[in-house]
Amino acid sequence: SDKSSIVSFGEMLIDFVPTVSGVSLAEAPGFLKAPGGAPANVAIAVSRLGSKASFIGKLGDDEFGHMLADILKQNGVSGDGMLFDQGARTALAFVTLRADGEREFMFYRNPSADMLLTPEELNLDLIRSAKVFHYGSISLIVEPCRSAHLKAMEVAKESGALLSYDPNLRLPLWPSADEARKQILSIWDKADIIKVSDVELEFLTGSNKIDDETAMKLWRPNLTLLLITLGEKGSMYYTKYFHGSVDAFHVNTVDTTGAGDSFVGALLCKIVEDPTILENESKLREVLKFANACGAITTTKKGAIPALPTEAEVLALING
């Protein structure tokens, strides 16, 4: 089988974003459709950089679901693991950044199609073909989606894939903060690669100091690579052998949505190309520079998917 691919499992949905910035959801005069969902963004990021990517997930057999399936296809992401649910509808999110700086979310998921993928419906051959299996659904705690994730992770691991996890914490979706922390950390040990944001680092450790001591609270002996992304401050990395940080690029940021997914997609592409970057610090630093550049470029345009860069755009930023 072709062991060159990155398989990403989770939700794809539509974010409805107010046509006017700085308003509450109730005040919004109208909404723009911004397709996304972190795991789908990662698959598209990988494909846009020229590597083979597949997406596993469920969409509603409705207008929104078909629109999202078309976006995957147009972006060269394999839909071999994608299904349409015959009952539930596509997940939707309404998201705004209010004038007071608070993010406001509202979700349609009662339940949405993505939450209903069962273990029996998984395309196991596709999962077995993965070199890297990435997951980080916002619905990872909900059955049957949770069981499907656990099975997929097990099958991927058995067939030699690296497991990559991004918790994608969206607190409003969880029953409570304690439950979120417990559930996220309960599957921590299974991953080889974990990427968290500075916000997630603080949430999971309870410490607001971003330093090695805090990061080490999230380290586990079986981890290969732990990454912490810091927005305009770049990223930090931890492995068994070395740790450090890599500066961000200065860009004209207009919307940070998707920066983390772009960063992860870039990193996973490079790991598939050359797994030895995980043991070689100078190689890893080069890769993180590339991933930081991807994240930076993604912040220069509105939306996530339209802003994900090609390799040429990344090299143009790196080489000035």
List active site positions: 261
Q: What is the C-alpha R_g of the chain?
A: 18
What span, in angstroms and rounded, lies between the C-alpha atoms of 139 and 114? 8
Residue nearest to ligand ADP (CB): 295
137 binds ligand ADP (CB under 6 A): no
| Interaction of residue 256 with ligand ADP, rule CB under 6 A | yes
Hey, is 175 helix, strand or coil?
A: coil
41 counts as binding ligand ADP under rule CB under 6 A: no
Q: Is 253 in the site for ligand ADP (CB under 6 A)?
A: yes
Q: List C-alpha distances in Å: 93 to 11, 63, 177.
A: 12, 15, 20
Query: Pick from 138, 161, 215, 248: which binds ligand ADP (CB under 6 A)?
Result: 248
Does position 184 bind ligand ADP by CB under 6 A?
Answer: no
Q: Binding to ligand ADP (CB under 6 A): which residues in 271-310?
A: 292, 295-296, 299
User: What tokens appear for 28 in the block?
Assistant: 């919004």
CA–CA separation, 309 vs 298, rounded Å?
7
The smaller minimum CB distance to ligand ADP, of residues 135 and 249, is found at 249
Please count the residues of this chain forming the interface with ligand ADP, following the rule CB under 6 A: 19
Contact status: 35 vs ligand ADP (CB under 6 A):
no
Site string for ligand ADP, 79-118 (x = CB under 6 A): ----------------------------------------
Distance (Å, rounded) from C-alpha 145 to C-alpha 262?
Answer: 24
Burial readout 164-194 (b: 16 or more C-beta within 10 A, e: otherwise): bbbbbbeeebbeeeeebbeebeebbebbbbb
The bridge status of strand 235-238 relative to strand 78-85 is unpaired
Which one of residues 249, 269, 305, 317 is an interface residue with ligand ADP (CB under 6 A)?
Answer: 249
Question: What residues make contact with ligand ADP under the rule CB under 6 A?
Answer: 197, 229-232, 234-235, 248-249, 251, 253, 256, 259-260, 263, 292, 295-296, 299
